Amino acid sequence: MSNPNCVIGDAMQLIIQKYPAHLYAKLTGDVSLLDFLQAIEKVMQVNDEVDLNVIWDLDDCFSLVKPGQFGNIVDYVYQRYPKQAKRSKLAIVASSGLIRAIVGLWSECANVLPYTIKTFMSLGEAEKWVVQK
């Protein structure tokens, strides 16, 4: 696999690490809607096995995504979600107030996606949940 770490947009970095039981994606910097959609696409490209659950770590990013744009993210994922995918969990690490509130609002919009989404205060909690059968 080529190195999936990359800079997207002017001020955002995406770091992707593949583990046997899950995929870890960390966003840092200022994240616009377009940046976030590009990051999702990168993660989907790396997660070629489509069985790995995913942890998104958003603790070190600042969201420039507006609440009215959450539906765009959900639609984007829904339209591109592989039919053969067997993953069942998406964990989001968001411990700070503003990003946690934004993630909470997005999670409410994302109930149409074919997996369970939970938000965690720490990476350790997210990892425990993602690898549970």
How confident is the prediction for the chain on average, in pLDDT?
A: 80
How many beta carbons lie within 10 A of that of residue 58, not counting itself?
Answer: 23
- Measured CA to CA, the distance from residue 125 to residue 131 in angstroms comes to 10
The span from the first CA to the last CA of the chain, in angstroms, equals 27
**Count of CB atoms within 10 A of residue 108's CB?**
10
- Does the residue 33 lie in any domain? yes
Please indicate, yes or no, if residue 1 is contained in any of the structural domains. no
What pLDDT does 90 receive? 85
DSSP E strands, the chain:
6-8, 12-18, 22-31, 53-63, 89-93, 116-120
Binned at pLDDT 50, 70 and 90, residue 1 comes out as: very low
Residue 105 sits in a domain whose CATH number is 3.30.750.24
In this structure, of 35-39, 49-53, 85-89, the range with the lowest mean pLDDT score is: 49-53
**pLDDT, tens only, 52-101:** 888 999 888 877 777 777 778 888 888 877 777 777 888 989 887 767 77
Please say if the pLDDT value at position 130 is more than 80.
Answer: yes
Candidate from 8-12, 16-20, 52-56 with smallest mean pLDDT? 8-12
Closest CA to 103 of 44, 54, 61, 131: 61
Whether residue 104 has pLDDT greater than 80: no
Q: Return the number of other C-beta atoms located less than 10 Å from residue 76's C-beta.
A: 15
Q: Which domain holds residue 57?
A: 6-131
Question: How many domains would you assign to the chain?
Answer: 1
Q: Which two tokens mark 70?
A: 């959450």
Q: What is the enclosing helix (H) or strand (E) of 129? A: helix 123-131
pLDDT band at 5 (very low <50, low <70, confident <90, very high): low
**Residue 26 covered by a domain:** yes
pLDDT at 124: 95
In sequence order, which residues have a C-beta less than 8 Å from that of residue 54 and are 6 or more positions away? 22, 23, 24, 25, 43, 47, 87, 89, 90, 91, 130
Domain-located, residue 11 = yes
